[in-house]
Chain A
């Protein structure tokens, strides 16, 4: 008799891990988008005197 490797608990755990992975990926994309918007939107503009030097 072979040992049953896949238990219901493994499927549940896998589903949870995939879910957390997707959420982390989405979070990275969101931070990237936020950074892009903040930089291009002028939130991080250098003061005028430094810019002209």
Chain B
């Protein structure tokens, strides 16, 4: 290798800090931070603000670490799919080995630091979540079964449980209700995406439901999971983390979500092609708002007693 070619290669491969940050999947991290924070604040014990801040930060770093490990393992798939082709590894900005080292190092650091700032149970749950996302989902399920999203969704559902455990040091039904909310929400959310991303998963050889069972079956699955999710989401209003504000938000959102799922089920591919998958895209957008507002309502319910205390 000549000096010139060496310099050229170095120039191409030199990543910025932003490229490494992108490996941590910042958008997923923001959802993790939000749901973990809601779990922490909805818990019936208070935590010192510094401990709460540090613990949520370590959960976010752990989530980011699992994202980096996912990008390392899935670099071949990401290079084929339009949605992911600009990620740091397929774009040539970061090497797979760098992503792997970053992922492993941040995983270890986040788990140890969470054990020190909060408790061992929270740290154990974070370690299990990273393992579940990086190994069970990314390395095993994603490429082997159309149920990948259903089972893999558990990884994204753990953060509110971890938040709850940071505050209380133990688990309870309410924490698992928040887990179930995200767990049941994940399949319709991703299947709607798979419907309008069309050939992306097919090209990459990922056995999504759209590829293995066809689009008609996927539409039916979206409806079934949505019906189950609606029952769970509205039922949560009558538990300790629910209340009138949550019930109002849940009823409105679930009526809209159910209507969206029903509209998706009624359509065929011809109709979807004709309007550029408008219904599927709006259902996907609504699903993002759906989760955010449900957890926002849980947060409001948790904060209300404190707010009334100030005004009283």
Q: Is B5 an interface residue (CB 8 A)?
A: no
Q: Which residues of A have CB within 8 Å of B48?
A: 37, 41
- Residues B54 and A16 in contact, CB atoms below 8 Å apart: no
Among the listed stretches B8-16, B62-70, B274-282, B287-295, which one makes contact with chain A, having 4 or more residues with CB under 8 Å of it?
Answer: B8-16
A34–B116 CB distance below 8 A = yes
A33 neighbours in B (Cβ, 8 Å): 50, 54
Contact: A19 with B57, CB < 8 Å?
no
Residues of chain A with a CB closer than 8 A to B16's CB: 12, 15-16
Asked if B51 is at the interface (CB within 8 A of a chain A CB), the reply is: yes
Q: Is the CB of A37 within 8 A of B17?
A: no
Indicate which residue in A9, A19, A34, A37 contacts B14 across the interface (CB closer than 8 Å): A9
Residue of A nearest to B10 (CB): A9
User: In terms of DSSP, what is the predominant structure of the interface of chain A?
Assistant: helix
Q: CA–CA, A13 to B57, complex, Å? A: 26
Q: Are B10 and A34 in contact (CB under 8 A)?
A: no
Chain B residues within 8 Å of A38, by CB: 51
User: How far is B54's CA from A43's CA once the two chains are assembled, in angstroms?
Assistant: 16
8 Å CB interface, B1-55 against A: 10-11, 14-17, 48, 50-51, 54
Known: A9-B10, A41-B48. Is A34-B54 also a contact (CB below 8 A)?
yes
Cβ-closest chain B residue relative to A22: B17
A30 within 8 Å of B (CB atoms): yes
Q: In the assembly, what is the distance between CA of A34 and CA of B117, in Å?
A: 7
Number of CB contacts from chain A to chain B under 8 A:
29
Output the least CB separation between B116 and chain A (Å): 7
The answer on a CB contact under 8 Å between A30 and B54 is yes
Query: A7 vs B48: C-alpha distance in the bound complex, in angstroms?
Result: 47
B14 and A13 form a contact (CB under 8 A): yes
Interface size class of B (residues with CB under 8 A): 10 to 19
Q: Which residues of A contact B14 (CB under 8 A)?
A: 9, 12-13
Chain B minimum-CB-distance residue to A13: B14
Q: How far is the CB of B93 from chain A (nearest CB, A)?
A: 11
In the bound assembly, the distance between CA atoms of A33 and B52 in angstroms comes to 12
Report the minimum CB–CB distance from A33 to chain B (whole Å).
Answer: 5
**B7–chain A nearest beta-carbon distance, Å:** 9
- Kindly provide the distance from the CB of B192 to the nearest chain A CB, expressed in whole angstroms: 37
How many angstroms between the C-alpha atoms of A37 and B51 in the bound complex?
Answer: 8
- Assess whether A28 is interfacial by the CB under 8 Å rule: no
Q: Assuming A30-B54, A37-B50, A37-B51, is B10 touching A16 (CB within 8 A)?
A: no
Partner of B17 from the list A20, A34, A41 (CB cut-off 8 Å) is A20
- Enumerate chain A residues within 8 angstroms of B15, measured Cβ to Cβ: 16
**Closest beta carbon of chain A to B223's beta carbon, Å:** 46
Residue of A nearest to B17 (CB): A19
**Binary A-proximity of B102-136 (CB < 8 A = 1, otherwise 0):** 00000000000000110000000000000000000
Q: Which residues of chain B come closer than 8 Å to A30, judged between CB atoms?
A: 54, 57
In Å, the complex CA distance between A42 and B48 comes to 12
CB pairs A–B below 8 angstroms (14 shown): A9-B11, A9-B14, A12-B14, A12-B16, A16-B17, A20-B17, A30-B54, A30-B57, A33-B54, A34-B50, A34-B54, A36-B50, A37-B50, A37-B51
Task: Spell out A's residues near B (CB within 8 Å).
Answer: 8-9, 12-13, 15-16, 19-20, 30, 33-34, 36-38, 41
Given pairs A9-B10, A33-B54, A34-B50, 4 additional interface contacts (CB within 8 A): A20-B17, A30-B54, A30-B57, A34-B51
7 smallest A-B Cβ distances: which pairs? A19-B17, A37-B50, A16-B17, A33-B50, A37-B48, A9-B14, A9-B11
